[in-house]
């Protein structure tokens, strides 16, 4: 690499580190405003792992704006191979538009296998792929990983439509069949995509992935983040505009989810902006989760936090959860929280459990809507506490047994553990 290019890459690397509040060679989420102060060093310490100082540019391997699909895919493969031989390091993607062309099949466009200790600096780079059919390609697909970061990337899919299910690109897909931890998206943006990040593990392989961090912005999309069947330790901070479902996860454990959302009436919504899902105890319970949602604009969602049991298995629980919803100057709201169990249809009762759950929130402006609904009354016991100030917004006398106004003790989730259930 010529000396002037090496100097430019070094400057970008320093800027990357400074912009994320890091020491050189470390990539971790940069959190805006009070979120950074709120979680601070305790949050960063669990996943800050240095990458080696070796740096390459995608341009070194022919990956440049204007290059064709085959050349771009080949350039990424060669760059990752070079970093693998060096024991890891930083891949710099120069600014510009990287167009991977049209897709009418569910392709893994850039398939990344068994990568470790790699930081991808893509500030100023936009990745584009265009779906031409009812398919879901993945632009970057990481199969088994350790300590991987993507910072500053932008993604778009001109072929995406929110009105047709499953036509559009996932920017990043994750899957693992061995222990994989430490994956971070930092300062990433996505516009007109099916989703920013999705986990493709199943109940049978949920023990393999842990330590997922996502921080960025998603606009005019179906999903923000899907984090199903991750063993533990998920942290998401998203700013969303016109996103049908900002976060969804089956069997979520040890997680901190923060969503800021604005919407317009012209965009389709969903039954829950944030969905916590359990398919039953054998697939994995939901536990030790904190969710905070702040929403403004038009009402396009049936609820803002959906506690969603699915399937026929009678055993299963959601417990040790704190959910906060803040509503700012919305003309109407359908409901803040929903608790139900669906098996072919929404059941009128369930043997599943909701327990040690705390509901918090505030409403700025008039409140026209329901505080919460619980269509599927639990016969298993358990307690859902409603913060007193929030309780005054709705009539709680009609709710099933188990919902209480309180609590006397905050329901702060326990620190993450290494145990798996």
Phi, psi of 71 (to 5 degrees): -65, -40
Give percent of the chain with pLDDT exceeding 90: 78
Q: Measured between alpha carbons, how far is 374 from 404 in angstroms, rounded to an integer?
A: 13
- Mean pLDDT for 139-147 is 98
List 83's β-bridge partners, or say none: none
Q: In this structure, what token pair is assigned to residue 326?
A: 């803040």
Q: What is the pLDDT of residue 331?
A: 87
Bridge-based pairing of strands 335-343 and 345-346 is antiparallel
Between the alpha carbon of residue 63 and those of residues 10, 60, 74, 91, the distances in Å are 19, 7, 8, 11
10 Å CB burial of residue 329 (0-12, 13-18, 19+) is: exposed
- Counting beta carbons within 10 angstroms of the beta carbon of residue 418, is it exposed (0 to 12), middle (13 to 18) or buried (19 or more)? exposed
Q: How confident is the model at residue 396 (pLDDT cuts 50, 70, 90)?
A: low
Question: 320 near 291, Cβ under 8 Å?
Answer: no
Rounded Cα distance, 275 and 347, in Å: 18
What is the mean pLDDT of the segment spanning 254-271?
96
Look at residue 27 in the predicted model and tell me its pLDDT. 28
DSSP 251: S
Whether pTM > 0.75 for this model: the answer is yes
- Provide the pLDDT confidence category of residue 392 given band limits of 50, 70 and 90: confident
- The tens digit of pLDDT for each residue in 53-80 reads 999 999 999 999 999 999 999 999 999 9
Length of the chain: 421
Count the alpha carbons within 13 Å of 86 in the hemisphere toward its beta carbon: 18
Task: Report pLDDT for 408.
Answer: 62
* All residues at 6 or more sequence positions from 302 whose CB lies less than 8 Å from its CB, including other chains: 269, 270, 271, 272, 334, 335, 338
Q: How many helical (H) and strand (E) elements, i.e. helices and strands, does the chain have?
A: 4, 25
Which of these ranges, 30-34, 221-225, 399-403, has the smallest mean pLDDT?
30-34
User: Can you tell me the distance from the alpha carbon of 9 to that of 11, in angstroms, rounded to the nearest whole number?
Assistant: 5
How many degrees, rounded to 5, is the angle at CA 326 between CA 320 and CA 329? 165
Q: What is the mean pLDDT of residues 331-360?
A: 95
The number of beta carbons lying within 10 Å of the beta carbon of residue 214 is: 25
C-alpha span between 364 and 207 (Å, rounded): 41
């Amino acid at each position: 690499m010529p000396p002037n290019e090496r100097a430019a890459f070094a400057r970008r690397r320093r800027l990357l580190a400074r912009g994320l509040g890091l020491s050189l060679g470390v990539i971790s989420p940069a959190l805006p405003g009070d979120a950074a102060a709120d979680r601070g060093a305790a949050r960063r310490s669990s996943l800050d792992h240095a990458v080696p100082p070796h740096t390459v540019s995608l341009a070194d391997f022919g990956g440049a704006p204007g290059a064709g699909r085959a050349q771009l895919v080949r350039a990424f493969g060669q760059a990752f191979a070079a970093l693998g031989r060096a024991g890891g390091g930083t891949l710099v993607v120069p600014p510009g538009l990287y167009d991977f062309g049209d897709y009418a099949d569910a392709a893994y466009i850039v398939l990344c296998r068994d990568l470790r200790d790699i930081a991808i600096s893509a500030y100023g780079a936009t990745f584009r792929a265009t779906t031409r059919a009812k398919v879901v390609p993945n632009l970057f697909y990481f199969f088994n990983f350790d300590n991987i970061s993507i910072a500053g990337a932008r993604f778009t899919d001109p072929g995406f439509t929110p009105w047709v299910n499953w036509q559009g690109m996932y920017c990043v897909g994750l899957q693992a069949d061995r222990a994989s931890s430490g994956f971070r998206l930092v300062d990433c943006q996505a516009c007109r995509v099916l989703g920013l990040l999705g986990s493709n593990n199943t109940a049978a392989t949920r023990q393999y992935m842990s330590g997922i961090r996502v921080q960025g912005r998603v606009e005019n999309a179906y999903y923000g983040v899907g984090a199903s069947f991750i063993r533990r330790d998920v942290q998401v901070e998203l700013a969303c505009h016109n996103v049908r479902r900002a976060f969804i996860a089956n069997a979520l454990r040890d997680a901190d989810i923060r969503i800021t959302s604005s919407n317009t009436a012209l965009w389709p919504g969903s039954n829950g902006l944030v969905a916590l899902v359990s398919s039953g105890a054998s697939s994995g319970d939901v536990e030790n989760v904190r969710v905070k949602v702040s929403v403004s604009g038009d009402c396009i969602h049936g609820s803002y936090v959906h506690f969603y049991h699915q399937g026929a298995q009678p055993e299963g629980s959601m417990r040790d959860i704190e959910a906060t919803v803040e509503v700012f100057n919305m003309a109407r709201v359908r409901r803040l929280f929903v608790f139900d169990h669906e098996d072919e249809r929404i059941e009128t009762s369930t043997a599943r459990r909701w327990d040690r759950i705390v509901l918090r929130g505030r409403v700025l402006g008039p409140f026209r809507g329901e505080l919460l609904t619980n269509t599927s009354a639990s016969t298993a016991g358990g307690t859902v506490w409603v913060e007193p100030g929030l309780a005054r917004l709705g009539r709680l006398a009609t709710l099933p047994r188990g919902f209480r106004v309180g609590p006397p003790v905050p329901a702060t989730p326990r620190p993450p553990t290494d145990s798996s259930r």
